[in-house]
Structure 1
């Protein structure tokens, strides 16, 4: 809906966006924001698991990521040419609620304005339950059980209180996404998977043998790529940290 509305306005010659060819000032924060694109990986298990013949699974994953990249690019470029940069909100859906010239149907404006609420309302309980279970597993002792207060009160509270406090303390979505994406997101997207791959290979090597051939192995199977991912994660953290420090120093 957002892509079509933006294309209609641009096609009618009413596009208000006149972006510069390049703006290097936003690159450091871009590292943190782009980490959130890893959400597209959540669909990979549901795509790969039902496939019995996995000889062409690489092409399927490539097609999947190409389609995702196409939608990301289309959504981004229609946004920057449709809206004036001063009217473009951090939460993109809110840009349509501010401008009657783009969308003059009240019901649809309310729908787009509340769309993030719908998605968060459905995802947040699932993520909260998963995080609570992870806390319980992290502090679990063999043969021991938690008291009722710890199990039913403490773990839910340490799961729910931090996001609620952050929501009340800040309205700067760009900085929030950049910081959380850079630090927590980098760990989820880069560091943890790289360490899992490295340690899994070390664990499997004495089991299956060093000379065994995996016909489904990735083109990036060399250990170099594990080190490259870790170096990339470190550089992302450095860029974002430097951007935060320099931005705060200016203010």
Structure 2
């Protein structure tokens, strides 16, 4: 995720790129959104999710512009090096019109001479042909402190991701195995202290499944794991089937007039958590280099990204509204799929109930090793970006352990997915989705303007190209963090000792 420049890989059409982006964004966060909608009220939720979708789209265009700027800077540096090499091999004395504007000892911000620009010919330096990951862009455009802050932010976000995944799988298994599937008490919610298997409580069963999950999936963190094409196709197919089923069955129940949901229009106490859930649910900025670079025709990539966000917004609204109208808000689970596993009034086909209940197990289990390996590699990069080898014990034991232990500990302490998603999205998610893209595009523009001159136009420039938009995003991010933090403090204060 936060590596260096990598090969583009196999190209695919813009339509395939649109599907990949949709699949990346619509994930675990979508399953926690219905409960957050119910807590904040339908009117407030609709307004907030529409605005946050717009903000995420804006920073996505920032990221694409920054990717183009990074490609341009790499090309200029290569061309400059070629010119320097040519000048070193030529005569020491030359006409002033043939001398390079910048040699080895000149500052990088000094403009490149016209002769170099003419030699570039018809090459568009802003073509996105090299995959420059977010961490590499941070190294190109930020100072050392900024680079370190980026890695801290991405690491915290990945920890939150792993904690969510580590809790979601055993919780789904616990609900499927301990829930009531006899259709006699559909929709009944249980306490963690209720029995599951004899004297074994539901909470104990959750921890048993969490331990088993870590023993089966955790070891992949000690090795390299890569997502294959067929695995992606499988998980995407499972996702589409599951989400479509939930929407269709909820609509059927609502159309029959048997829906139990009576959601309020507004409840401000649920807004902070909804904010975090929505930020997390629109997250894709950290993976854009891997998604956009292989697109064969990028002339309309901006239109495709806009279409993707509109589709995702409609999908989220449809999923959440049908959920809060179909189910009583107080009975909505943190993981929405679980509302179908023991409620035969909505779904009375046992196989389909088990399929939806186990859906997060199949999809999340395949993603967990990928995220864990990515986090492990970011830890390595943070401490040793200049290269070199770590001792075997540090490389193969210490880094995997510091990757696994914190999220597993959090998952052992709580399986409240709504809170985990909300906190991860509100804090680390705000940094990755708002702050980092805004800073990348801002400093990318400042870096390239004196180098390439005013006549160089970035064809992937964001529609929000005025710097006021950058400052607006940063101000919004800071305001949200203060609001969420103040709300948490007030909530804890009201709870008392």
Query: Please, what TM-score do these two structures have when normalized by structure 2?
Result: 0.48
Distance in 2 (CA, whole Å) between partners of 1:143 and 1:87 is 52
**For 1:99-158, what per-residue CA distance to the aligned partner results, in whole angstroms no more than 9, with x for missing partners?**
111111122111111212222211111111111111111111635321000000010011
Q: Does the 8 A contact of 2:376 with 2:400 survive in 1? A: yes
**Does 1:39 pair with 2:291?**
no
Q: Does the 8 A contact of 1:29 with 1:243 survive in 2? A: no
Q: Does the 8 A contact of 1:32 with 1:236 survive in 2? A: no
- Given the superposition, is the C-alpha separation of residues 47 and 68 from structure 1 closer, same or farther in structure 2, using an over 3 Å criterion? farther
Distance in 1 (CA, whole Å) between partners of 2:335 and 2:387 is 47
Q: Does the 8 A contact of 2:247 with 2:322 survive in 1? A: yes
Aligned match of 1:92: 336
**Does 1:19 pair with 2:258?**
no
- How many residues are aligned here? 250
**Does 1:235 pair with 2:479?**
yes
Matches within 5 A, 1:1-251: 1-39=245-283, 42=287, 46=291, 49-52=294-297, 54=299, 56-140=300-384, 142=386, 144-251=388-495
RMSD: 1.9
Deviates more, 1:201-210 or 1:174-183: 201-210
Distance in 2 (CA, whole Å) between partners of 1:227 and 1:30 is 24
| Structure 2 unpaired stretches of 5+ | 1-244
Distance in 2 (CA, whole Å) between partners of 1:43 and 1:206 is 27
Q: Does the 8 A contact of 1:179 with 1:240 survive in 2? A: no
Q: Does the 8 A contact of 2:334 with 2:418 survive in 1? A: yes
Distance in 1 (CA, whole Å) between partners of 2:342 and 2:484 is 30
Q: Does the 8 A contact of 2:341 with 2:357 survive in 1? A: yes
Q: SS of the residue aligned with 1:39?
A: coil
| Structure 1 unpaired stretches of 5+ | none
Query: Please, what TM-score do these two structures have when normalized by structure 1?
Result: 0.92
Q: SS of the residue aligned with 2:365?
A: helix
- Given the superposition, is the C-alpha separation of residues 202 and 169 from structure 1 closer, same or farther in structure 2, using an over 3 Å criterion? same
- Given the superposition, is the C-alpha separation of residues 132 and 143 from structure 1 closer, same or farther in structure 2, using an over 3 Å criterion? closer
Distance in 2 (CA, whole Å) between partners of 1:43 and 1:70 is 21
Higher relative contact order, chain-length normalized (CA < 8 Å, sep 6+): 2
More helix by share: 1
Q: Does the 8 A contact of 2:280 with 2:424 survive in 1? A: no
**1:175 Cα deviation from its structure 2 partner:** 1.7
Distance in 1 (CA, whole Å) between partners of 2:443 and 2:288 is 25
- Given the superposition, is the C-alpha separation of residues 102 and 59 from structure 1 closer, same or farther in structure 2, using an over 3 Å criterion? same
Distance in 1 (CA, whole Å) between partners of 2:305 and 2:387 is 42
Instruction: Look at both structures and tell me which one has the larger radius of gyration over its CA atoms.
Output: 2
**1:217 Cα deviation from its structure 2 partner:** 1.6
